[in-house]
Structure formats: structure tokens, C-alpha cells
Structure 1
């Protein structure tokens, strides 16, 4: 920003918030964003007639969903809902077990071997780049439909998330304690248990709880591809056009997500 006045020469200068280069860059970015939106809209091929009819169709759908058939809960929802919670819990536990060595290999202050680091990074990126539904489709094709495919899909999807955050927590550990243990000749396992573990334990609990909360939501839709859980009940209700049952399933999923959020928040307050 230039000065407003020069008292020596008595000349005034114009205040400018941005330099010409900065203004040009801002307009260039804005132009690129608008161009990307226009090109994306043209490729999506939005049909205007569907947009005009959307409010009417939404109102019709809401009328079909209400009132929900609450009697369907005991018949086809409760057991599937419990199965969903089991899938999320077992998948999270398995992900923690699988992510621990990957996180150790990805942490630069623990593993100096570049080959292991690259392999760990590849596993973390591969896990996060594939959606849980795609993982579920793969495991359904291998093991057949059921909860096993759902548990493995949740686990393999969560490895990248847990491993990346845990690896970053290990890299941010205070090295003073680590160097003191190393100077005393402590073995590597003792350094991990006495030096790193006390520092990353709060982060690990936080990551595990947060990921379980996410997995409860993701496991609710795995049944749409045959991986068990409440998604199976939702898929059956949708295929048979029983909208009152669909409403019951959606309300059950909504309630479980809220309860899981409250439980995770309370546990975080008590443990972390």
C-alpha cells in the first residue's frame, strides 16, 4: 500500500489496496472460477424442465413419506440397525489394528527407510481415494453379500484416515523425551511405549472416536450394495415403493447418528 502524502515534496499519492499485479491475479482467478462453473454446467446437462418440476415432485415425495410406519421398526429395522452398529465398531477396531504399523512406517522420525515410507504413503492414499461403497462392492464380489463385506469395507476405507492422522501425531511428538531414552540405551520398543505412546495416546483416542462416528454414518448405506446393515432394509423398502417404511428407516438412521454424536462427545470429555 502506498503512502497518502509526501510532506517533503508536497505531492499526494493515491491509496491502493492492491498492486496492479495483485488486481490482475484476482480477476484472473475469478475468471477461471466462472469459466469452470460454466463448463461444468454445460457438461452436467441440466434439464430445465426437471428443475421447474422439482418443487412439486419434492412435495409429492414428502406426502408419501408421511406418516411413517412405526410398526415396521421391530419387524425390519431394529435388527438391521444393530447390525450397522456392529459393522461400524468392528470395522473401526480392525482399521486401528491395520493402521498402526502403517502410521509407524509413514512417520519420518521413526522410519528412515525411504522404501517403507513410500509404501506406507501409497497405502494411506489408496485407502482414502476409494469410496466405502466401492470397497463394499469389491468385498461383496469376493466374499459374497453380508456383514463381512461391510466390516472389511469400513476397515479398509478407515485405514488411510487413521494412519495419516496418527502418523502426523507421531511426527509432532516432542523429541526431547525420545532423545533422552535413546541416550540411556533404551531398546526401540521401550522408546515407542515410553516415549511416543504417552504423547500420541490422546490423539489416538480422538481419532478412533471421530472415525467411529463417521463409520456409523457410512455403514448405514453399505447395505444398498449388499454389505449388510440398515441399508438392506432401506433398499428393500425403496424397491417395493413402501414410502412409509422408507420414512421409518430414515428416521432410525437419523436418530442413531444423533445418538452416536452425543456419545462420542461425552466420551471425549471424559477420556481426552
Structure 2
């Protein structure tokens, strides 16, 4: 009587698993060598971190009204205006990127290129570009947030348009309805919840991203943070960081409540 030996993986699968593990280990080793980690700095890091925490505490709460509140409101305005502008710019791009709406291949490729270009450039890089063009201030921050958000909003909205049920759309086309009616009556009711969700989610992200734009001169709370860091007022730095943290938590709560009521 012969006994069959059951194995979880075939020899080829075991070889593939070991090969993947070897590649991952090799990538970690090569990356670590190029990062140039200095062991002395690692050994000294805990004491340096403890010293930094001691300098950050207690925070100078009186600094909030003097130099934080106005900059914090400016950050919220940058995030809100940037999100609204991104929605306006992303809508036509999303329509052009949806294959069930746009049949022109050149227009499809151009729309995809716009979406990829927007997402591939970080918001700080956009801010640097617009600061160079328009000078320091909130305008550069609003444009940086908007151009960074176009790719995110346009991609998700375009995918939502491609996933709609075509029954009502085909029925409207069969009756000879114009293109605007097809969009408003066939597509819009199906993608409206997705659009609200995308807009709220992106605004939540933009509140976080706009908090650091001031580090490159694009307005907002980042300017107050940069000034406190440059002058080594660590108690003021702590106040700015706590304010950013509080606003991020508040934005998360607001978005959650709005989603429950609207979507």
C-alpha cells in the first residue's frame, strides 16, 4: 500500500515564495545602505526625542490668539476654496475620462494624462510653483490644493460614471433626449452620492495638506509653525501643533456627520 504525501505548495510555488522573500530582503539591504543610517545618531535618538518633548511642554496657550487663530482660519479657507475649485475643474475632466461618455480616444488619453499629472505632483511642489508665479500668499495655497485635488476627484468621479447602470441612460437616448438631459437625468442621479462622498473626503484631506503649505510661503498655519521653528520657541511650536491636531479631529467629525445626513 502506497502512502500519498500531501503538500501545501508545489515545488514551483515554494521556489517562487523563496525567490520573492530573497528579493524583498535584498531590496531592504540595498535601500538601507543608500539611506546611510548612522548608528551613532540612532543610539542618541531616544535622548534627543526626550529633550525635544521637554522643550515642547508646556505649550504657550496665550500664543494661540496672537499668532495661531487667524492663520488657522486661513488654512480652513484655503482647503475649502481649493476643494471647490478642484470640483469645478475636475468635472469636465471626469466626463472626458469616462469611456462610456467619451468615445474620442485622443480626448480620453488627454483626460487621463491630466489626472495622472495632477496626482503625480505633491501639493508642496504645486505650492512652490505657484508661489514662484503669484508670490507668497493664500492664492498660491488655494491653487496648489486645487491642482493637487483635480486628479483625485476626477479619477474617482470618472470611475463612478463608468460604473453607472446604462438602462436609464439608453432609454433617454432612445427617446432622442439631448446630451445635457442624458447627463442630468441618466448619469447625475446615480453618481450624486459618490460625488458628495468624494468632495467631503477630499476636503478632509485638504485640511491636512493645507496645514503645511505655509512652510513654503503659501499661507495658512504653516507660516506660524515655520516662524516658531525658526525662532526656536518650542512652546509656541507645541501650541501650533496642538491647534493643527484639534482642527484635523474636528474636520473628521464634521465630515462624518455630514456623510450621515446627506449620503
Match of 1:6 in 2: none
CA distance, structure 1, for counterparts of residue 15 and residue 177 of structure 2: 59
Match of 1:256 in 2: 247
Mapping of residues 4-19 of structure 1, within 5 Å: 10-19=1-10
CA distance, structure 2, for counterparts of residue 137 and residue 59 of structure 1: 33
CA distance, structure 2, for counterparts of residue 84 and residue 123 of structure 1: 26
Deviation track 1:155-195 (CA, whole Å, cap 9, x = no partner) reads 00000000000000000000011111111111111000000
TM-score by length of 2: 1.00
Give yes or no for the alignment of 1:176 onto 2:167.
yes
CA distance, structure 1, for counterparts of residue 196 and residue 142 of structure 2: 20
Give yes or no for the alignment of 1:62 onto 2:50.
no
Match of 1:125 in 2: 116
Match of 2:178 in 1: 187
SS at match of 1:11: coil
TM-score by length of 1: 0.96
Equivalent in 26, 33, 38 of residue 29 of structure 2: 38
Mapping of residues 71-220 of structure 1, within 5 Å: 71-220=62-211
Q: CA deviation at 1:11?
A: 1.9
CA distance, structure 2, for counterparts of residue 217 and residue 191 of structure 1: 37
CA distance, structure 1, for counterparts of residue 30 and residue 40 of structure 2: 20
Structure 1: runs of 5 or more not aligned: 1-9
- Report the number of matched residues: 263
Runs of 4+ displaced beyond 6 Å = none
Q: CA deviation at 1:110?
A: 0.1
Deviation track 1:88-123 (CA, whole Å, cap 9, x = no partner) reads 000000000000000000000000000000000000
CA RMSD of aligned residues (A): 0.4
CA distance, structure 1, for counterparts of residue 97 and residue 12 of structure 2: 40
CA distance, structure 2, for counterparts of residue 109 and residue 19 of structure 1: 43
Q: CA deviation at 1:65?
A: 0.2
Match of 2:18 in 1: 27
CA distance, structure 2, for counterparts of residue 74 and residue 239 of structure 1: 20
CA distance, structure 2, for counterparts of residue 20 and residue 186 of structure 1: 61
CA distance, structure 1, for counterparts of residue 41 and residue 117 of structure 2: 37
Equivalent in 234, 243, 246 of residue 225 of structure 2: 234
SS at match of 1:36: helix
Structure 2: runs of 5 or more not aligned: none
Match of 2:256 in 1: 265
Q: CA deviation at 1:12?
A: 1.4
Equivalent in 232, 241, 247 of residue 238 of structure 2: 247
